[in-house]
Chains A and B, each alone.
Chain A
Amino acid sequence: MLNVLLTEIMKLKNTKMHWLILLGAIPANLVTLYAFLPRVTPEGTRAGIDLQDMFYRQGMVITILGPFMFALMTGYIISREYQERTINQLFSYPVSRTKILFAKLGAVVVLIFTTSLLSCIMVTATGVIMSFTKPVEMEVLWSGIRMNMLAGLLALGTIPVSAALSMIGTSVIPSTVLGAFATIVTLIGEMGHGMRNILFPWAMPYWPVRELAQGLAESGPNPYAVPGMTILAVTFMVSLVFCIVYYEKAEIHSGS
Chain B
Amino acid sequence: MSTILRTSRLTKRYGGKTVVSDVNMTIIPGDIYGFLGQNGAGKTTTLRMIMGLIHPSSGEVELFGKPLHGNKGEAMERIGAIIEYPGFYLNLNAADNLEIHRRLMGMGNRESIDDALAAVGLLDAKHQKVKQYSLGMKQRLGIARALLHHPELLILDEPTNGLDPVGMKEMRQLFLELVRKRGITFLISSHLLSEIEQLSNKIGIIHKGRMLEEIDYESLQRKTRHYLDIKVTDEKKAAFILEQKLGTTDYVVAGSGGLRLYEHLDEPDRVSLLLAEGGVGIKEMVLSGDSLEEYFLKLTGGDKFA
Chain B residues closer than 8 Å to A253, beta-carbon distance: 48, 54
Within 8 A of A (CB), among B49-67: 51-55
Binds A, one of B1-9, B72-80, B200-208, B284-292: B72-80
Would you call B104 an interface residue if the criterion is a C-beta within 8 Å of the partner chain's C-beta atoms?
yes
Are B92 and A88 touching (Cβ within 8 A)?
no
| In the complex, residue of chain A having the shortest beta-carbon distance to the beta carbon of B53 | A252
Which secondary structure characterizes the binding site on chain A? loop
State whether A93 touches B104 (Cβ < 8 A). yes
Q: Say which one of B95-103, B111-119, B262-270, B296-304 lies at the interface with A.
A: B95-103
* Residue pair A255, B103 in contact (C-beta under 8 Å): no
Question: Which A residues are in CB contact (< 8 Å) with B88?
Answer: 84, 86
Cα of A92 to Cα of B74 in the assembled complex, Å: 11
Whole-angstrom distance between the Cβ of B236 and the nearest chain A Cβ: 59
Query: Is B81 close to A, CB under 8 A?
Result: yes
**Is A85's CB within 8 Å of the partner chain B?**
yes
How far, in Å, is A138 (CB) from chain B's closest CB? Answer: 42
A94's partner among B51, B84, B106 (CB-CB below 8 A) is: B106
Is there contact, CB below 8 Å, between A89 and B53? no
Q: Does B273 contact A (CB under 8 A)?
A: no
Q: Provided the pairs A3-B103, A6-B103, A255-B83 are in contact, do residues A84 and B90 lie with their beta carbons within 8 angstroms?
A: yes
Q: Which of B48, B74, B96, B106 contacts A252 (CB 8 A)?
A: B48
User: Given A92-B76, A94-B74, A95-B73 in contact, is the A3-B51 Cβ separation under 8 Å?
Assistant: no
State in angstroms the CA–CA spacing of A252 and B48 once bound together. 8
- Contacts A10-B99, A13-B96, A84-B89: A91 and B44 contacting too (C-beta < 8 A)? no
B173 in the interface, Cβ–Cβ < 8 Å?
no
Q: Are B73 and A7 in contact (CB under 8 A)?
A: no
> B105 an interface residue at 8 Å Cβ cutoff?
yes
CA distance A10 to B129 in the complex (A): 14
Within the assembled complex, what's the spacing in Å between the Cα atoms of A6 and B103? 9
Task: Give B215 Cβ to nearest chain A Cβ, in Å.
Answer: 29
> Known contacts A14-B92, A255-B85, A256-B84: does B77 contact A94 (CB below 8 Å)?
yes
- Give the interface size class of chain A: 20 to 34
Q: Is the CB of A94 within 8 A of B105?
A: yes
- Is residue A218 within 8 Å, beta carbon to beta carbon, of the partner chain? no
Task: Please give, as numbers and ranges, the residues of chain B lying within 8 Å of A95 by CB-CB distance.
Answer: 73, 104, 106
A134 at the interface (CB under 8 A from B): no
Q: Are B103 and A89 in contact (CB under 8 A)?
A: no
Chain A residues positioned under 8 Å from B81 (CB to CB): 88-89, 92
Please report the C-alpha to C-alpha distance between residue A88 and residue B85 in the assembled complex, in whole angstroms. 9
Is B87 an interface residue when CB atoms closer than 8 A count as contact? yes
| Distance (whole angstroms) from the CB of B39 to the closest CB of chain A | 12
Query: Which B residue's beta carbon lies closest to that of A81?
Result: B87
Chain A residues with Cβ below 8 Å from B53 are: 88, 91-92, 251-252
Determine if A94 and B76 form an interchain contact, defined as CB atoms under 8 angstroms apart. Answer: yes
Q: Is B91 an interface residue (CB 8 A)?
A: yes
CB contacts (< 8 Å) of A92 on chain B: these are: 51-53, 76, 79, 81, 83
Within 8 A of B (CB), among A137-182: none
A251–B13 alpha-carbon span in the complex (Å): 13
Query: Would A11 and B87 count as touching, CB distance under 8 A?
Result: no
Provide the bound-state CA to CA distance between A231 and B175, in Å: 57
Q: Are A255 and B89 in contact (CB under 8 A)?
A: no
* A88 x B106 contact (CB < 8 A): no
Is the pair B103, A7 in contact by a Cβ cutoff of 8 Å? Answer: yes
A45 interface contact, C-beta 8 A: no
Smallest Cβ distance from A67 to chain B, in angstroms? 26
Q: Taking CB as reference atom, which chain A residue is nearest B91? A: A14
> Contact between B85 and A11 (Cβ–Cβ < 8 Å)?
no
**What's the nearest-Cβ distance from chain B to residue A256, in Å?**
6
Q: How far is the CA of A92 from the CA of B88 in the complex (A)?
A: 14
10 examples of A-B residue contacts, CB within 8 angstroms: A4-B104, A10-B96, A10-B100, A11-B92, A89-B145, A91-B53, A92-B79, A93-B76, A252-B48, A256-B44
The 3 closest A-B pairs by CB, nearest first: A85-B87, A94-B73, A86-B87
Q: Report which A residues bind B (CB closer than 8 A).
A: 3-4, 6-7, 10-11, 13-15, 84-96, 251-253, 255-256
**Contacts A11-B89, A86-B87, A96-B73 known; 7 new A-B pairs at CB < 8 A:** A3-B106, A7-B103, A85-B85, A85-B87, A88-B48, A92-B53, A252-B48
Chain B residues with a Cβ under 8 A of chain A? 44, 48, 51-55, 72-74, 76-77, 79, 81, 83-85, 87-92, 96, 99-101, 103-106, 129, 145
